[in-house]
């Protein structure tokens, strides 16, 4: 009864399994269940011991008492304790469910005796300040335990499903800043330019929703234009800037520290699919779309138009090293290529290396981060452009440029 999987028991009880229903009812009061089981168990053992002693004394005399005790101990251990309890522990459902039909009426019949035994036993435990009440939360699983359960469900769940469940658990710890589109990569349209240029920019937009701004994206964000809804107006020959601005929706701002689990609920509550991410000073840091959030659960969407060609950003080499665009997000690299780069600090490789070296390094500089060697290949005036990542066991020998 105690070896039953509580979650499987609940599932089978909800499915209408009669044995599971009775077993679940008995386990709601484990002190009474143990009381009736041990009451019968101890009564039989003590009664058998008494009978064996009487028979031994009549047949052999006082010398037979020791012989009867030893022989009975062996018999009880093998046939009444170790063997049946091992069998029950290996196949708890096959033993517990039929036993529940016998234990339920037995508990009702012996309830006065069980109550008396439990009264003294629970009273003794209370003197030791032990809480004897059944805590329903004692079988609740933490995030880490749930993750272990998912990882070990190798045969029950396909790898893709296990990956999705793991991603759902991580939504609490991942913030919108971790998955947002950085400000420099935002596709936005300046409405101060001629209407012909605006219409052209709208026409070639790879996105359904486009932010509109005046002069500067940081200072004057007009709103977000939904191209699908605006299509009838945009098809008119006499469309004006005023008509376009009327169709925009005010921008929806979200702090960069918001977790993805909370933001998913806010997207649904506010009926939004795009949010502007701001820092503690209110400065725009990037954009988050519903698609970005869903990708954290299901992986890359095949229709994602913002995805960069892999050949242009990452090049894999025969020796196991990789040439990577330094603006790539560390979390994406870890997920896609099964790396183990730190994600608790900077979000990109450029930020990670600069934080490690506390300066903008020159090309050829190498540094060790975790189990990897990172070599700067090219830089610009204010950022690293490309780096070469090599697993530490395959990294080349250090040169005079290495740090």
Please give the chain's pLDDT, 403 residues, in tens: 888 888 888 889 998 999 999 999 998 888 889 888 888 888 888 898 888 888 888 888 877 888 888 888 898 889 888 999 899 888 999 999 999 999 999 899 988 988 888 888 888 888 888 877 766 556 666 777 777 777 776 667 777 777 788 888 888 888 898 888 888 889 999 999 999 999 999 999 989 999 999 988 888 899 999 999 999 998 888 889 999 999 999 999 999 999 998 999 999 999 999 999 999 888 999 999 998 888 888 877 655 444 443 334 788 888 888 999 988 888 888 888 888 888 888 888 888 998 888 888 899 999 998 889 999 999 988 889 999 999 886 444 444 444 4
Q: Which helix (H) or strand (E) holds 57?
A: helix 30-59
For residues 33 and 27, what is the distance between their CA atoms, to the nearest angstrom? 7
For residues 216 and 197, what is the distance between their CA atoms, to the nearest angstrom? 17
* Strand pairing category for 274-278 and 253-255: parallel
For residues 101 and 96, what is the distance between their CA atoms, to the nearest angstrom? 9
DSSP assignment of 136-189, as one string? GGGGPPPHHHHHHHHHH-TTTS-HHHHHHHHHHHHTTT-BHHHHSEEGGG---E
Contacts 24+ apart (CB under 8 A), 24-33: 25/104, 26/1, 26/100, 26/103, 26/104, 26/107, 27/1, 28/134, 29/134, 30/2, 30/134, 31/118, 31/121, 31/122, 31/132, 32/107, 32/111, 32/114, 32/115, 32/118, 33/1, 33/103, 33/107
For residues 68 and 45, what is the distance between their CA atoms, to the nearest angstrom? 13
**Burial class (CB within 10 angstroms; exposed 0-12, middle 13-18, buried 19+) of 260:** buried
8 Å CB contact between 186 and 287: yes
Which residue segments constitute the domains of the chain, with CATH numbers given? 6-139 (no CATH), 176-298 (3.10.580.10), 310-394 (3.30.465.10)
Furthest-apart CA atoms within the chain: distance in Å: 119
Q: Give the SS3 label for residue 199.
A: helix
8 Å CB contact between 201 and 189: yes
């Amino acid at each position: 009864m105690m070896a039953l999987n509580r979650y499987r028991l609940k599932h089978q009880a909800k499915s209408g399994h009669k044995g599971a229903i009775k077993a679940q009812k008995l386990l709601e009061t484990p002190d009474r269940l143990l009381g009736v089981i041990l009451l019968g168990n101890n009564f039989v053992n003590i009664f058998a011991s008494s009978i064996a002693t009487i028979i031994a004394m009549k047949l052999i005399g006082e010398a037979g008492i020791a012989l009867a005790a030893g022989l009975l101990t062996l018999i009880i251990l093998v046939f009444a304790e170790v063997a049946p309890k091992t069998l029950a522990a290996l196949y708890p459902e096959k033993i517990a469910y039929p036993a529940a039909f016998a234990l339920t009426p037995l508990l009702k019949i012996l309830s006065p005796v069980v109550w008396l035994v439990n009264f003294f036993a629970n009273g003794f435990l209370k003197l030791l300040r032990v809480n004897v009440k059944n805590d329903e939360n004692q079988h609740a699983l933490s995030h880490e335990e749930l993750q272990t359960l998912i990882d070990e469900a190798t045969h029950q769940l396909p790898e893709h499903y296990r990956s999705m469940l793991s991603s759902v658990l991580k939504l609490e710890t991942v913030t919108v800043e971790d998955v947002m589109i950085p400000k420099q990569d935002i596709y936005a349209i300046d409405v101060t330019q001629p209407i012909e240029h605006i219409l052209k920019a709208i026409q070639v937009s790879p996105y359904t929703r486009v932010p509109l701004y005046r002069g500067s994206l940081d200072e004057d964000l007009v709103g977000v234009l939904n191209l699908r809804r605006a299509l009838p107006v945009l098809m008119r020959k006499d469309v004006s800037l005023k008509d376009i601005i009327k169709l925009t929706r005010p921008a929806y701002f979200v702090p960069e520290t918001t977790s993805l689990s909370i933001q998913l609920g806010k997207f649904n509550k506010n009926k939004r699919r795009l949010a502007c991410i701001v820092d503690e000073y209110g400065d725009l840091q990037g954009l988050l779309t519903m698609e970005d959030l869903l990708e954290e659960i299901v992986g890359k969407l095949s229709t994602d138009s913002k995805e960069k060609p892999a050949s242009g950003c990452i090049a894999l080499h025969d020796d196991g090293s990789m040439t990577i665009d330094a603006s790539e997000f560390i979390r994406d690299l870890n997920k896609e290529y099964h790396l183990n780069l730190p994600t608790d600090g900077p979000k990109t490789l450029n930020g990670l290396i600069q934080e490690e070296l506390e300066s903008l390094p020159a090309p050829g500089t190498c540094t060790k981060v975790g189990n990897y060697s990172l070599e700067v290949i090219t830089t610009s005036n204010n950022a690293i452009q490309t780096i070469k990542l090599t697993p530490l066991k395959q990294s080349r020998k250090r040169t005079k440029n290495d740090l």
